Amino acid sequence: MVTREPLTDALLDDLADDGEFVAEGGFSVDIRQAGTKLQAFRLADPGAWIVLLIEGAIAAGASTIELAFGRGEIDIDIRKLELRASELERFGVWLASAPQDPHSRAHAVHLLALAYQAAQARADGLLVESGARRLRWTAAEQTHDALDPRADTRVLVELGDSEGERELLFERCVYAQIDIFVDGEQIAWGWRRAFGARDSPRACLPCPDPEPLRIDGEIAGLAGFAFERLVGASLLVLIHGVLSERIELDGPLELQRGFVAIVEAPALGRDLGLAKLTRDERFDALLAHVEAARARLHDEHEGSLDLRRAPKRSASGSPSPIFVVVAISLVMFTIALIVLLT
């Protein structure tokens, strides 16, 4: 029995006054299908199921993830991830909330199940093979079958247009610390990727190396100054290796000198519907650690930061203005010399 609030009664009665009675009857709700729809609408981007899958795989201890984008399908091979039959059964159960411990096996399985359910809003069919079980899903049915045991996990997604999923992988998995390949191309390079490359022609030198960022005595990320940027300050927050949010830090101009912090923070809350981290006490505590690191690194390296200079070549790789002026002068001199000699 459903209890209606007075406000709901008033609203329904008001709407009924302007309507025309047609018929009366009842209806039923398929809880599993309703759960699938609700999970899909929890994501800010419907294609974000694929990065949730990456998060879950990394949280569960996967060593390598290989994705192949074919015509009408995505074939995903997750190495060193074996799911038990009881864990696969969770994929078909409505998921209310995640387990509290973000480092637990249950939390990893929750993320994988969430990705599986959210993918159903985009896919025509799904296949998961892991351990000794095979799970198939289509809009018409979901089945479980036995198969020869395997130590890895394979996910096959039947999907017409997968360009959005592909773009999300390149955008949000670049800082993961395991090997991730898309069509044979490595896309994950670890935390240091956030600082650019010291040997890049766009590098601003001199620049100190990034340092470990410790939170509660544990290394949670890196903090330092971008090799290819002189201004601004950014915080990159990862959840199980996947970029969750990039935050531009405020502060006085002397602290806006290309500072970058990248932090792995799976315990932070987040709103998947807004693609935002929850601004709460845990977030504030993380931000306080980062701001303390920014102030300390600025004080320690103020001298070298004062010497930082822009690269001699522009960010696009085009010649510097001085080079252009010299080149034009040489051309004009050569033309004038030819005219005098003739």
> Can you give the residue ranges of every domain in the chain?
31-189, 196-306
CATH no. for 31-189: 3.30.565.10
Q: What is the rounded CA–CA span in Å between residue 96 and residue 98?
A: 7
What pLDDT score does 29 carry?
A: 46
What's the Cα-to-Cα distance from 335 to each of 324, 326, 328, 329, 332, rounded to whole Å? 17, 14, 11, 10, 5
Residues 234, 240, 245, 250, CA torsion sign: negative
What pLDDT score does 166 carry?
A: 97
Burial classification of residue 159, based on how many CB atoms lie within 10 Å of its CB (0-12 exposed, 13-18 middle, 19 or more buried) = buried
pLDDT digit of tens for each residue in the chain (342 aa)? 334 444 455 555 665 666 666 667 655 545 455 555 544 546 889 999 999 999 999 999 999 999 999 999 999 999 999 999 999 988 887 666 778 899 999 999 999 999 999 999 999 999 999 999 999 999 899 999 999 998 999 999 999 999 999 999 999 999 999 999 999 999 999 999 999 887 777 777 677 889 999 998 999 999 999 988 878 999 999 999 999 999 999 988 778 889 999 999 999 999 888 889 999 999 999 999 999 999 999 998 887 777 677 665 544 555 555 555 556 767 676 777 676 666
What pLDDT score does 94 carry?
A: 67
What pLDDT score does 275 carry?
A: 85
Phi-psi region of 238 (alpha: psi -120 to 50; beta: other; left: phi over 0): beta
What pLDDT score does 200 carry?
A: 77
The pTM assigned to this predicted structure is 0.79
Q: How many CB atoms lie within 10 A of CB 59?
A: 23
What pLDDT score does 192 carry?
A: 95
What pLDDT score does 5 carry?
A: 44
What pLDDT score does 3 carry?
A: 40
With contact defined as beta carbons under 8 Å apart, do 199 and 186 qualify? no
Q: What is the rounded CA–CA span in Å between residue 109 and residue 96?
A: 13
Phi-psi region of 217 (alpha: psi -120 to 50; beta: other; left: phi over 0): left
- Specify the pairing of strand 257-264 against strand 218-225: antiparallel
What pLDDT score does 273 carry?
A: 80
What's the Cα-to-Cα distance from 8 to each of 2, 15, 26, 38, rounded to whole Å? 12, 11, 19, 22
